[in-house]
Structure 1
Amino acid sequence: MVLDSDPHILLTNDDGIDAPGIRGLYDALSTVGTVTVVAPDRNRSAVGRSLSYGRTKSSDDDDLSVDLADSAFTVPVPHTDHELGYAVDGTPCDCAIVGTKGLEPSPDIVVSGCNSGANLGAYVFSRSGTVSAAMEAAFLGTPSIAVSLDTLGYDEELEPADFERAGEITAALVDGVPGTGLFDRVDYLNVNVPRPDREPNGVALTRPTEIYEMDATFEDGAFQLTNRLWQQMANRDIPDGEDTDRHAVLEEEVSISPLRVPYEIVDTEPVRHILDDIV
């Protein structure tokens, strides 16, 4: 798949249309293409690939028979106009669907983010709203990029300027892809950028770690969950290989993981030279 040199970019996220991360990407991507925003009207983090719409309408018939007319499978998706585009009362995947299928002209590429907090590991594919929106677009045949900013230990309130580096990297990817054939080999990219107060130590082509460690206890009549993955990150003590996304972020590298749907991790070597030339 070859992108236009002046691509139509669909921008979405899961933090909501007023989040600083989407503004940071909008400003950067506007320098390399035409950007249309279709994003949730509020924070919809960690909803995964859930959909609010697309279900059949409920039947009022006593026998619960289903009306199989075309209209039974069509529902409105509420939205309001926003200075950046459209604020949708729905999930990130809802936004990816209406954005790729309902806009004219249809987008050449979808960018999801920039998320406040890294999205690392294969387990996030079905959990992260940011990655799920990119995956949804890929399922629908539109190449996409999910972008997240590591914020572990960063206690300052985030502003659009904090996402400037993430925006520059994303814009470089979108601008550098035409003619490379990258999206003939991969369906989407999962990009994670170091904290805004850290200077990136280069770019690493990675695979999402397959390590997953959650823990739970029942104490004093209450359940408690412990996220061992982020506990390990905070302690800088991870068992992950050097070629993984978690390792790259701890080394303050920009992590780029090339992926295919459904849930397939791509061998990085065939695309390494393409991405090396872009970023």
Structure 2
Amino acid sequence: MVRDLDILLTNDDGIDGDGLAALRRELTELGDVTVVAPADNQSGVGRKRTTYNTRTVHDWGYAIAGTPADCVAYGLRGLDREFDLVVSGCNHGPNMGAYVLGRSGTVGAAMEAAFLGTPAVAVSAYHNVEFFLRPPEEFDFSAPARIARELTEDCLDADVFDSVDIVNVNAPVDATDPRLRVTHPHDDFDVRVEHTQVDPDDEDLPVPVGDDGELIALRDKFWPHVEGYENPMVDIDDVRDRYPVGSDRRAVVDGEVSVSPLSAPREAAHHEKLDAIVDQRNMT
């Protein structure tokens, strides 16, 4: 069993997040936990980095006035210690799907760790009915935190991180003993563009509009039957079969724990026709 680890813990919901507190309690069973987390909510910033930010001492470590990736970069390179592992979470909502993983601050922190040579686990929680955990204080994060701790321990004991950079976990808060499933990120995503003619002098507009009076809205469609961050679980059976078993979305739809092993480098895809084009261009 793995013990006496030095763990760097962060999140994107802010250092006072309920999910982070639950995960910290669990991870202390594995070793020493140092928290370096955003001073406030930084959801949806991906792997964005900033050059200048400030550090405030916290009972658990440090609060950084920056992004989750800033926190990991500072923790791994700004503290006089070595860490065995970075853990990010528990996020107050799921992070699955190839598009969402690129936008997620939770996964972005884990990706930053991986590029800096430290294995990472990203942990997100969801509810089988409510989907998003809003407000988070009304939900119990202990189950996802426990699952993440047990899975982390098993992965370290089995040397999973010898070939995997990140383990992305989505676990339900409302299941006692959910099934775990190894998954891959599903690529389902679309955008609906909305054009609206408005009065440019309207003070209630979400953003200032020029003299032409046209407001443009980009409505993300993470699920085919809802837009934006609406709860997809209400009519989830209508789209269940769209997602194959083994995808992270299907696991969450079925109330399972999605476990996606990820790599940090952007691997190039070999294509013989592209090779031929380059060879031909080099001959001319």
Q: Common fold, TM-score beyond 0.5?
A: yes
Q: 2 CA distance for matches of 1:263 and 1:193?
A: 26
Correspondence 1:216 to 2:193: yes
Distance 1:248 1:20, change over 3 A: same
Distance 1:228 1:178, change over 3 A: closer
For 2:275, the equivalent position in structure 1 comes to none
Asked if the contact 1:79/1:87 (under 8 Å) is kept, the reply is: yes
Q: Match for 1:118: what amino acid? A: P
Correspondence 1:229 to 2:241: no
Distance 1:248 1:218, change over 3 A: same
**Mapping of 1:186-225 within 5 angstroms?**
186-194=164-172, 196-221=173-198, 222-225=215-218
Distance 1:200 1:229, change over 3 A: farther
Shift of 1:230: 3.9
The one of the two structures with greater contact order (alpha-carbon pairs below 8 A, sep at least 6) is 1
**How many residues were matched structurally?**
239
TM-score by length of 2: 0.78
TM-score by length of 1: 0.79
Shift of 1:4: 6.2
1:34 pairs with one of 32, 35, 44: 32
Q: 2 CA distance for matches of 1:172 and 1:23?
A: 17
SS at match of 2:156: coil
2:47 pairs with one of 37, 46, 49: 49
The answer for unaligned runs of 5 or more in structure 2 is 199-214, 226-231, 268-284
Cα deviation 1:229-257 (Å, max 9, x = unaligned): 24543331152221100000010000000
Q: 1 CA distance for matches of 2:37 and 2:66?
A: 8
Correspondence 1:115 to 2:99: no
For 2:135, the equivalent position in structure 1 comes to 157
Asked if the contact 2:143/2:175 (under 8 Å) is kept, the reply is: no
The answer for unaligned runs of 5 or more in structure 1 is 54-74, 265-279
Distance 1:176 1:50, change over 3 A: same
RMSD (Å), alpha carbons: 2.1
For 1:253, the equivalent position in structure 2 comes to 256
Q: 1 CA distance for matches of 2:68 and 2:57?
A: 17
Q: 2 CA distance for matches of 1:8 and 1:161?
A: 28
Q: 2 CA distance for matches of 1:134 and 1:40?
A: 14
Q: 1 CA distance for matches of 2:68 and 2:255?
A: 28
Q: 1 CA distance for matches of 2:124 and 2:8?
A: 16
Cα deviation 1:84-123 (Å, max 9, x = unaligned): 2100011111111111122232110000011111011111
Q: 2 CA distance for matches of 1:231 and 1:200?
A: 29
Shift of 1:262: 2.1
Q: 1 CA distance for matches of 2:57 and 2:224?
A: 40
Distance 1:4 1:97, change over 3 A: farther
For 1:147, the equivalent position in structure 2 comes to 123
SS at match of 1:51: coil
Shift of 1:181: 1.7
SS at match of 1:218: strand
Asked if the contact 1:37/1:85 (under 8 Å) is kept, the reply is: yes
Q: 2 CA distance for matches of 1:14 and 1:156?
A: 15
SS at match of 1:24: helix
For 1:275, the equivalent position in structure 2 comes to none
Q: 1 CA distance for matches of 2:143 and 2:164?
A: 24
1:244 pairs with one of 215, 230, 247: 247
Shift of 1:5: 3.1
Shift of 1:216: 2.1
Asked if the contact 2:92/2:134 (under 8 Å) is kept, the reply is: no
Q: Match for 2:82: what amino acid? A: S
2:16 pairs with one of 18, 21, 24: 18
Distance 1:150 1:230, change over 3 A: farther
Rg larger for: 2
Q: 2 CA distance for matches of 1:21 and 1:124?
A: 19
Q: 1 CA distance for matches of 2:249 and 2:255?
A: 10
Q: 2 CA distance for matches of 1:128 and 1:175?
A: 24
Cα deviation 1:138-167 (Å, max 9, x = unaligned): 011000000101146257632396110111
Distance 1:172 1:79, change over 3 A: same
Asked if the contact 1:199/1:252 (under 8 Å) is kept, the reply is: no
